Structure 1
Amino acid sequence: MSVGLRVYSYAACSTCRKALRWLQEQGLDAEVIDITLHPPSLEELRLALAQLERRRLFNTSGVSYRALGSAVVKAMDDEAALAALASDGKLIKRPFLISATGNVLTGFDPQQWQTLLRPEAPAAP
């Protein structure tokens, strides 16, 4: 069953691999995009910012984030933060999912993904 999903992921990310495996187990097809080669667009990142706290967009444990520095990131206004994210996919918390309805999730929490993508199915234990 396809639900028009886009998942930005990174092949070397174990969390991304778990998320993609979960999608496959659920029978959900997704367009998988390498976040390091093709980060989400500014429009997609603005959509995410409207739904999530800004800090949830950043991969705070990544090399790119550490190189930039948390103080610099905190000092940025939203537009500067979005521009930084759009220019370096490794700054973005992954996986980065956009549903067909425009809902955005970052990271992989099976219960959140279940609620968004399979609301009719019983929640996994």
Structure 2
Amino acid sequence: MIFLCYPKCTTCQKAQKWLDNNGLSYELRNIKENNPTLEELKKWHKMSGLPLKKFFNTSGLIYKSLKLKDKLQGMSEEEQYKLLASDGMLVKRPIIITSNKTLVGFSEIDYKEMIK
């Protein structure tokens, strides 16, 4: 399992604590230092079953400064992937990737479901 996070993010800290408390092993990846590639994002998006829009960190400073709330709708999926791959801080976190599932954000319910 890969756990993508930004160490200063409180939601990521909660998710990591949950993983640790439940004895799960994972590969930790700092999303700011090692942002997802275009290929990874495409694969994870497909595995998540979520709209691509859910991969954007809508509360982030970069998202807001680029005024993406207004621009995303007019962008192609390929343009959105390229934008996400350009800076890890644009990507919603934490992200968990298992062999067959991608979870975006932290939901204790989803995490419990994942370990069943």
Flag whether TM exceeds 0.5 (same fold).
yes
Root-mean-square deviation (Å): 1.0
TM-score for both structures, normalised by structure 2? 0.92
- Residue 93 (structure 2) aligns with: 94
TM-fit CA distance, 1:83: 0.7
The range that moved more, 64-73 or 6-15, is 64-73
Matches within 5 A, 1:106-117: 106-116=104-114
1:67 to 65, 68, 82: 65
Ranked by relative contact order (alpha carbons within 8 Å, sequence separation 6 or more), the top structure is: 2
Structure 2 distance, partners of 1:80, 1:66, is: 17
Identity percentage of aligned residues: 35
| SS of corresponding position for 1:61 | coil
Matches within 5 A, 1:1-125: 5-50=1-46, 51-69=49-67, 70-99=69-98, 101-116=99-114, 118-119=115-116
Structure 2 distance, partners of 1:27, 1:13, is: 21
TM-fit CA distance, 1:102: 3.0
TM-score for both structures, normalised by structure 1? 0.86
TM-fit CA distance, 1:48: 2.7
Structure 1 distance, partners of 2:36, 2:111, is: 19
| SS of corresponding position for 1:46 | helix
Structure 2 distance, partners of 1:91, 1:40, is: 10
